[in-house]
Amino acid sequence: MNSAFWISNLTLTNFRSYDHLKLEFDPSPVVITGPNGSGKTNILEAVSLLASGRGLRMARLSEIDKRQKSDSPYNVFGWAINAAVNLGENQTVISTARETSRDNIDKRIIKIDGEIKRNSSALESAFSLIYFVPQMNHIFTEGRRTRLAFLDRLTMLFDYGHPKRLGVYEKYSAERRRLLKENPDEIWLSATESTMAEQAVAIAASRLEALEYIGKALAEFDSRFPRARMEVKGLVEDNFPKMPALQLEEFFKAKLEEARKLDFFSGRTNYGVHRSDFSVVYAENGALAENCSTGEQKALLLSIILGAARAKATWFNAAPVVLLDEIVAHLDDERREELFGQIASLGIQAWMTATHPKFFKNFAGKMQFFSVHDSVIC
Ligand SMILES: Nc1ncnc2c1ncn2[C@@H]1O[C@H](COP(=O)(O)OP(=O)(O)O)[C@@H](O)[C@H]1O
Ligand SMILES: [Mg+2]
C-alpha cells in the first residue's frame, strides 16, 4: 500500500467564521456536510493554506481574519492555522498565520516544526496538496492564465522548487520592465535577462516533467473518467526537446534582447514562460476541453487531478491530500462510484463537502463524517 499524506489534527484561530476550532482526524477520507453558508469551504480553505499560495479562494490574507464588531479588542489579531501532517512514520507540524504588524498586512508567517521559514516553498517539501473547487469548473474556457496557474499547481506536486522559481522569474521580469523604462543600462539588462532565461528553462522543464508523470499515470490506469491528453505550448517549452538546456537559455536570452524595444513600447514582457498555454484534449474524441460540455470538462479536470495523485503515489510514495469542494454532488452515479473507488485504492485523505450526506451513505466506517451548522461542528 502506498503512503499518502494525511492530516491528524487541525486548529483554526480567528479564521473566517471560526473563533476557535480544533478537529482530529484519522487517515480515511473526510466528509463535511451542512447547509449553504454553514462553514464547510472555510475549513477546506484553511487546509489549502497549508500549501504555498493564497489558498483556494485566492483571498487577500487580511480578508480571512474573522470579522469582529468594530469595538472588539480582537481586531488586532490575524488568523492562524496549526496542523499536524503525516506521511508514513513522519509527522510534521505546520503553523501559518497572518503577520499583523501594520506595514505587513498581507504577509504570511510559516513555521515548520516550530522553525520559521522565510520561503513558502518550504511548505511544498513538508506537505502535498491539490484541490478542485467550483470556481475551477470554467478553467478551460476562462483563459490562458487560469489554465497555466492550474498547470503550475500540478507542477509543484512534483517539484518543490517550482513556486520559488516562478517568483524569481516574475521578479526579474518586473525588474527588466523597470530598467527598460527608467534606466536601460546594458550590463544590468543583460544580467537580468540571463537570470530570467535560467529560471524560464527550469520552469519549462518542470512543467514538462509533471505532464509526463501525470500522462503516464493516466495511460497506465484504466479509469471510468475520460482520459485527458495534456500539452503545454510556449516559446521555451516548444524548444525544450530540440536543444540542450544551456543552448535553450542562450536562445531565450537572445529573444529577450531582441524584444527590448517591443517590450518597452508595449510595457509588458511579450515572450516567456508566463505566456505559455496549457491545453487539454478529451483523448477519446480529440475535442479540445474548452469545446466539451461542462460535465465533460469537470470530469477531465477530476481525471487530471486523480492522475496527478496517482503519479505522486506511484513514483514518490507520497500521495497528496485532495480537497474536493462541492464536487461530489454534481457527478453522476457511475463517476461518483469511480471517484470513491480511486480514493480508496490510492488510500488518500480526500476532503469532500456536500450539502447532504446521502451521497456517502454506503461509506459509514470507511470515511469520517463531520456535520457543520453555523460554524459549529457536530
Ligand atoms: N472573514 C470572515 N469573518 C467572519 N465570517 C466570515 C468571513 N468570511 C466568510 N465568513 C462567513 O462564513 C460563512 C460560511 O462560509 P462557507 O464556509 O463558505 O460556507 P459553506 O461552504 O458551508 O457554504 C458565511 O456565512 C460567511 O459569511
Ligand atoms: Mg462552500
| pLDDT confidence of residue 68 | 80
- Grid coordinates representing 69? 464588531
- Grid coordinates representing 42? 472555510
Angstrom CA distances, 78 to 64, 102, 110, 236, stand at 8, 11, 13, 41
Check pLDDT > 70 for residue 5: yes
What is the atom index within ligand 1 of the atom nearest the CA of 42?
A: 17
Average pLDDT rounded to a whole number, residues 13-21: 95
The DSSP bridge partners found for residue 85 are 7, 92
| Torsion sign (Cα): 115, 121, 127, 133 | positive
Check pLDDT > 70 for residue 22: yes
This prediction has a pTM of 0.94
Question: Which ligand lies nearest the alpha carbon of 37?
Answer: 1
Q: Where in the chain is the domain with CATH 1.20.1050.90?
A: 138-317
Average pLDDT rounded to a whole number, residues 48-74: 85
**What would the pLDDT profile of 322-372 be if each residue is shown by its tens digit?**
999 999 999 999 999 999 999 999 999 999 999 999 999 989 889 999 999
Q: How does the average pLDDT of the chain come out, rounded?
A: 94
What is the atom index within ligand 1 of the atom nearest the CA of 39?
A: 17
Check pLDDT > 60 for residue 73: no
| Torsion sign (Cα): 345, 349, 355, 360 | positive
| pLDDT confidence of residue 107 | 86
**What would the pLDDT profile of 312-325 be if each residue is shown by its tens digit?**
999 999 999 999 99
If we measure between CA atoms, which residue out of 253, 237, 234 comes closest to residue 196? 253
Quickly state the pLDDT bin for 106 (edges 50, 70, 90).
Answer: confident
Does the domain at 138-317 match CATH 1.10.1060.10? Answer given as no
| pLDDT confidence of residue 98 | 92
| Best residue for ligand 1 mutational test, from 42, 373, 375 (most atoms within 8 Å of Cβ) | 42
Ligand 1 binding site (Cβ under 6 Å of any ligand atom): 16-17, 34, 36-42, 63-67
* CATH class for the domain made up of 1-128+318-378: alpha beta
Check pLDDT > 90 for residue 71: no
Question: Which ligand lies nearest the alpha carbon of 68?
Answer: 1
CA 252 to ligand 2 centroid distance, Å: 43
CA 57 to ligand 1 centroid distance, Å: 12
Q: For ligand 1, atom 7, name the residue with the nearest CA.
A: 16
| Best residue for ligand 1 mutational test, from 12, 14, 15, 17 (most atoms within 8 Å of Cβ) | 17
What is the atom index within ligand 1 of the atom nearest the CA of 326?
A: 21
Quickly state the pLDDT bin for 100 (edges 50, 70, 90).
Answer: confident
Q: Where in the chain is the domain with CATH 3.40.50.300?
A: 1-128+318-378
What is the atom index within ligand 1 of the atom nearest the CA of 17?
A: 5
Check pLDDT > 60 for residue 183: yes
Check pLDDT > 70 for residue 1: no
% of the chain with per-residue pLDDT over 70: 96
Check pLDDT > 90 for residue 43: yes
If we measure between CA atoms, which residue out of 166, 168, 172 comes closest to residue 191? 172
Distance (Å, rounded) from C-alpha 41 to C-alpha 16? 10
CA 244 to ligand 2 centroid distance, Å: 47
% of the chain with per-residue pLDDT over 90: 88
| pLDDT confidence of residue 50 | 97
| pLDDT confidence of residue 121 | 78
| Best residue for ligand 1 mutational test, from 12, 14, 16 (most atoms within 8 Å of Cβ) | 16
In the three-class reduction of DSSP (H, G, I as helix; E, B as strand; rest coil), residue 205 is classed as helix
